[in-house]
Structures are given as structure tokens and as C-alpha cells.
Structure 1
Amino acid sequence: MNNETLTLLGFMLLMFAGFYLLIIRPQQKRQKQQQDMLADLKRGDRIVTIGGIYGTIEALDEKTLVIKTESGALLRLVRAGVAMKQEQEEPAA
């Protein structure tokens, strides 16, 4: 191998390492956090769905859950449809 080949190989390895650190690793971390949040859901948790619907979990099983919206409607959705848990609101002083 000549010097140019080694330089090119080193540059490609450096590019891959940068790509991994800047794109792949943060995405894996976010995905792990989302999976942990979905696994920790329980009855009574306030959530926001991917579609932007706010609700409280009324019932859940392994793959689905039923939420109650502010209007009183019950909606059944897949666990993966949950975007995040709603943060606890601080009571006004």
C-alpha cells in the first residue's frame, strides 16, 4: 500500500467515526429513552400522542392502551402512538 491509499483509508475511517458519533449514536440514545418511557407507562399517566392528543391512560395491555381525553372521549391506540408523558404541572401559588 502506498501513502495515498493509507491517507484515503484514514480519511474514510475518520468520516465514518464522525458520522457514527454525530448521527447514529444520538438516534440510538433517543430510541432507547422512548422504549423505556413506553415500558414504564401505567394507568393514570398523562400523555401526549404523536397526533398531539392529550389524555390520561385508563387501561393498557402489552400492545395497546385506552386514553381518556379532556372531553371524556375514550380512544384506543397502539403504545407506539405515545409521543411523551405530560410533565406534572406545578399548582399556582
Structure 2
Amino acid sequence: MNFALMGGIILFMWLFVFRPQSKRAKEQKEFLSSLTPGIEVITAGGIIGTIVEVKENIVSINVGGSTMRVVKSSISGRLDASSSIPATK
């Protein structure tokens, strides 16, 4: 009985915690690798800008006439073309 309960808990954790977390991490990694100049993005700090240049770990974004360099991992999402609200999946 104890082993069945432990097995159930492990299965629950894998299905509802670990698997979705790894799926989100994979999607974020794919998103970051697909960044190209011209895409409008939002950073984790809430800064909205258009990508000008993409290097290995640094992204240059144009924000109101100024160019900012940010760490690639701080880009949290792409903005929808029709609004200033981040696109959701």
C-alpha cells in the first residue's frame, strides 16, 4: 500500500509539476533562439522595444529613439502586432 501511494505521488508530481515546467522551458528556449531584428518584444522589467541586433547572449533593442543592450534571457515575450499586450500561447 505504501509503495502504491508513493508511486501515485511521484506520478502526480511528474504529470503536473515537472513535465509542464520543462515544456515551458523548452518553449522559452525556442523563442529566444528565434529572435530576429524587427520583432517587437517586452523585457522582464516591462521595457517594450524593437530588436535591432541579436548576438549570442546580448540583444540590442530600440526604445523610443535610444538603443539598449539587454541580456537575451531577460526578453520575456513578443508583442502582438495589433496591440501593446504581450501575445499569449
TM-score normalised by L of structure 2: 0.89
Supply the RMSD in Å over aligned alpha carbons. 1.0
Instruction: State the Cα deviation string for residues 10-43 of structure 1 (Å, max 9, x = none).
Output: 1001100001101111111111100000000001
- Structure 1 partner of 2:68: 75
**Distance in structure 2 (CA, Å) of the matches to 1:48 and 1:26:** 23
Structure 2, gaps ≥5 residues long = 84-89
Would you say how many aligned residue pairs link Structure 1 and Structure 2? 83
- Structure 1 partner of 2:28: 34
TM-score normalised by L of structure 1: 0.85
* Structure 1 position 58 matched with structure 2 position 57: no
- Give the letter aligned to residue 78 of structure 1: V
Please identify runs of 4+ aligned residues in structure 1 that moved more than 3 A: none
Q: For 1:5-16, list aligned pairs within 5 A.
A: 7-16=1-10
- Which protein is bigger by CA-based radius of gyration? 1
User: In percent, how many aligned pairs have the same letter?
Assistant: 29
Secondary structure, in 3 states, of the residue corresponding to 1:51? coil
